[in-house]
């Protein structure tokens, strides 16, 4: 009995000792609704430039000099501007595809695979129908590119809708399937027999190529396709009942369900549109830039489009600016090779921007507050 009392006393004394060392307050995360729609992306870019500047300093170079070199390479000449717009075109189309899925809280990481399927589908027309009239090729390649990307997006939507499979997993895995499918065609049945061991299809004939804008540049009319897609995106998502239903579904799926909105139908349609936009990006790249389907046709446009969409906060018109900015980073990355830095510097900057964006979004949505404990 006395031993039990002694143990109880020890526990009590221990608790009281711990209480004496406890702080009279604690920190909690408090969600708040302050608007930082413009500040977050801008500050994220600035912080990313500063962080990457530290690594540039470690390489013995002046960050300001490096950034000015990138800026001059991307926007300092008509050639640089045209190349920046060439890179921005598929980024804008894939970014729109990513953004419309995000509007209903569907995380489509599969824009890269959908981009590749659009390129494959468009190329299939040139391979299997070589005798079509010239005026038919471009419209048919556009349609098949969009449909190919849309069907690839549907492969993610069906498991998500009917079997509750996480779309992050399926869309990411399908990217690798699409990449292997591309490799099969360019190394296998579609390989150019006169390609000197380079994995790619035969070059497209002029009627299968998108018209260029101006002389001496690679800028093509696919840019106009992307701009038209921006206005269509804005109209249907902001000015129609369907767009309102998408916004309601993204904000509160439960309320959307009780409002009679057919959630499964919307997911299927949105993922097809998302994949179709990325597929169009693949079509304009293969027909407007590469001139054939080849190994490495995409340097990661589908993944980079995630940064484009997040920088613009899913705003279609802001995505024009963000795609040009990221396109400028890619083109500017080629310029720094002349001063001893690899072109992959642009990828480091993109990663840093995405990291800072995610952190900035968290900081803007939550604040840390001090909560004092009640005396007991």
Lowest mean pLDDT among 182-196, 219-233, 355-369: 355-369
Which tens digit of pLDDT belongs to each residue from 37-59?
A: 678 899 999 999 999 999 999 98
What pLDDT is stored for residue 39 in this prediction?
A: 84
pLDDT mean over 324-344: 91
pLDDT mean over 232-260: 92
Q: How far is residue 169 CA from its own chain's centroid?
A: 16
pLDDT mean over 279-305: 96
Spans of all domains in the chain? 28-57+344-376, 84-320
pLDDT mean over 198-218: 93
pLDDT mean over 182-211: 92
Helices (H), 129-218: 134-162, 167-187
Q: Which helix (H) or strand (E) holds 26?
A: strand 25-31
Percentages helix, strand, coil for the chain (3-state, rounded to 5) are 70, 5, 25
Residue 86 CA to residue 293 CA, distance in Å, equals: 17
pLDDT mean over 322-350: 92
Greater model confidence, 103 or 19: 103
Which tens digit of pLDDT belongs to each residue from 106-148?
A: 999 999 999 999 999 999 999 999 999 999 999 999 999 999 9
What pLDDT is stored for residue 289 in this prediction?
A: 96
What pLDDT is stored for residue 11 in this prediction?
A: 46
Which CA distances in Å does 133 have to 129, 205, 257? Answer: 10, 12, 49
Task: List CB contacts of 356: < 8 A, sequence separation 6 or more.
Answer: 43, 44, 45, 47, 48, 51
Lowest mean pLDDT among 36-45, 131-140, 168-177, 277-286: 36-45
Residue 135 CA to residue 114 CA, distance in Å, equals: 26
Which CA distances in Å does 266 have to 53, 91, 149, 220, 242? Answer: 44, 24, 17, 33, 9
pLDDT mean over 257-272: 93
pLDDT band with cut points at 50, 70 and 90 for residue 362 = confident
What proportion of the chain, given as a percentage, has pLDDT over 90? 75
Greater model confidence, 18 or 305: 305
Whether 372 shows a pLDDT value over 80: the answer reads no
pLDDT band with cut points at 50, 70 and 90 for residue 34 = low
| Mean pLDDT, rounded, of the chain | 89
Q: What is the four-CA torsion angle of 352, 355, 359, 362, rounded to 10 degrees?
A: 150
What pLDDT is stored for residue 365 in this prediction?
A: 72
* CB neighbour class for 11 (10 Å; exposed up to 12, middle 13-18, buried from 19): exposed
pLDDT band with cut points at 50, 70 and 90 for residue 361 = confident
Whether 319 shows a pLDDT value over 50: the answer reads yes
Residue 325 CA to residue 224 CA, distance in Å, equals: 18
pLDDT band with cut points at 50, 70 and 90 for residue 376 = very low
Greater model confidence, 5 or 219: 219
Q: How big is the CA angle at 350 (ends 329 and 325), to the nearest 5 degrees?
A: 40
Whether 300 shows a pLDDT value over 70: the answer reads yes
Task: List CB contacts of 294: < 8 A, sequence separation 6 or more.
Answer: 186, 198, 199, 200, 201
pLDDT band with cut points at 50, 70 and 90 for residue 198 = confident
pLDDT mean over 208-237: 95
Q: What is the pTM of this model?
A: 0.88
User: Helix (H, G, I), strand (E, B), or coil: what is residue 191?
Assistant: coil
Which tens digit of pLDDT belongs to each residue from 80-102?
A: 999 999 999 999 999 999 999 99
What pLDDT is stored for residue 364 in this prediction?
A: 75
Owner of token pair 């604040």: 367
What pLDDT is stored for residue 7 in this prediction?
A: 46
Lowest mean pLDDT among 24-28, 202-206, 224-228, 292-296: 24-28
Q: What is the four-CA torsion angle of 281, 285, 286, 289, rounded to 10 degrees?
A: 170
Q: How big is the CA angle at 97 (ends 91 and 98), to the nearest 5 degrees?
A: 85
Whether 165 shows a pLDDT value over 60: the answer reads yes
pLDDT band with cut points at 50, 70 and 90 for residue 240 = very high
């Amino acid at each position: 009995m006395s031993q039990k009392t002694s143990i109880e006393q020890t526990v009590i004394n221990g608790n009281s000792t711990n209480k004496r060392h406890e702080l009279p307050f604690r920190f909690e995360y408090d969600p708040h609704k302050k608007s930082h729609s413009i500040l977050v992306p801008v500050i994220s870019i600035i912080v990313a430039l500063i962080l990457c500047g530290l690594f540039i300093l470690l390489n013995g170079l002046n960050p300001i000099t490096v950034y000015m070199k990138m800026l001059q390479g991307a926007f300092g000449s008509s050639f640089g501007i045209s190349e920046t717009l060439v890179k921005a075109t598929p980024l804008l189309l894939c970014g729109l595809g990513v953004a419309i899925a995000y509007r209903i809280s569907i995380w489509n990481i599969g824009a890269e695979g959908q981009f590749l399927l659009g390129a494959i589908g468009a190329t299939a027309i040139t391979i299997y129908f070589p005798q079509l009239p010239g005026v038919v090729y471009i419209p048919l390649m556009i349609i098949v590119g969009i449909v190919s990307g849309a069907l690839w997006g549907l492969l993610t939507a069906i498991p998500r809708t009917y079997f509750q499979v996480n779309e992050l997993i399926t869309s990411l895995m399908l990217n690798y399937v699409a990449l292997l499918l591309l490799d099969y065609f360019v190394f296998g049945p579609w390989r150019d027999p006169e390609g000197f061991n380079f994995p790619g299809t035969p070059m497209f004939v002029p009627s299968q190529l998108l018209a260029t804008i101006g002389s001496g540049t690679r800028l093509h009319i696919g840019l106009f396709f992307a701009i038209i897609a921006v206005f269509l995106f804005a109209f249907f998502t902001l000015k129609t009942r369907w767009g309102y239903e998408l916004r309601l579904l993204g904000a509160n799926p439960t309320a959307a369900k009780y409002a009679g909105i057919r959630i499964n139908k919307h997911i299927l349609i949105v993922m097809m549109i998302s994949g179709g936009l990325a597929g169009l990006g693949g079509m304009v790249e293969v027909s407007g830039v590469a001139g054939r389907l080849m190994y490495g046709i995409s340097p990661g446009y589908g993944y980079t489009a995630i940064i484009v969409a997040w920088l613009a906060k899913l705003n279609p018109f802001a995505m024009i600016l963000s795609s040009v900015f990221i396109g400028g980073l890619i083109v500017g990355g080629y310029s720094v090779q002349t001063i001893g830095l690899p072109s992959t510097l642009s990828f480091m900057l993109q990663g840093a921007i995405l990291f800072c964006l995610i952190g900035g979004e968290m900081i803007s949505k939550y604040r840390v507050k001090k909560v004092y404990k009640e005396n007991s």
